[in-house]
Structure 1
Amino acid sequence: MKGDSKMGDFEILGIPVSLGTMIYQALIFTILVFLIKKFVMSRLIAVLEKRKTYIGKQLMLAELYKQEAEQKLLEQNGLVAQARQEARKIRSKSEEEARALFEKTRLEAREIIHNAKDDARRIHPGHNEHWGA
């Protein structure tokens, strides 16, 4: 041991260290660790476990909601496809009905013109060249 014994019982790296102070600090440290372990750690672990459980439940709910959303999306896509198919059918039927109505109207117009020419020939028998006979 170097130097005066009043400053410390021994030196570590040139620093005087008192054995009594080291024992006292070790005892205080041990008591502090024990108190932290007994009172703080148990509560901290309980809080962390509760948080872990909560997060686990939230993740399960999120997965459930994701699956429900995917199912709803599939249903919605099916409904959209069905609506498009129905719209195509309606459009096709409407176009067909429009063509039929147009053809019917055209035939009726020809018949009206033909009847009008016949009526004109009967009323004015001498003017047949004007009626496109």
Structure 2
Amino acid sequence: MERVGDARELVLGYVDALNAVDEAMRAAIPSLERLADVLGLVHSRRISRSGQAGTYSYTVHGAGCLFVCGNGTEVDVDFAADGSEVFDLWRLRRYGLSLPEPLDVTDEDLRTAVGSLQPLLTEVGPGWFQHRH
């Protein structure tokens, strides 16, 4: 059961890290009302596709963005059509493996952990999840 506990800690850590990214990006780019607005700013060429915001570097890709913290921790997130932040098990695993003390958990354990965290997290599509603010 300890593995599921690790997976649960990983998921909660990802959500905390995503909230920290959101705060740092909005502090660095005052016109950002929500994290998803970074896509519009890149598409309108008001900010570059990759750059630095506080202690984070960011790289916009497709429908999302990869944020890398100063310690190397990676928070990769996609944005749904309504601008909400969505993520899948692959992004959660990538976050876990990038931690200063890497945490490698199985998709099965992550799925169990995500299920145990409802209604904090909602499955918005097969294998895709959203955090309720």
Larger proportion of strand = 2
Larger proportion of helix = 1
Query: Larger Rg: 1 or 2?
Result: 1
TM-score, length basis structure 2? 0.19
RCO higher in structure (CA 8 A, sep ≥6): 2
TM-score, length basis structure 1? 0.19
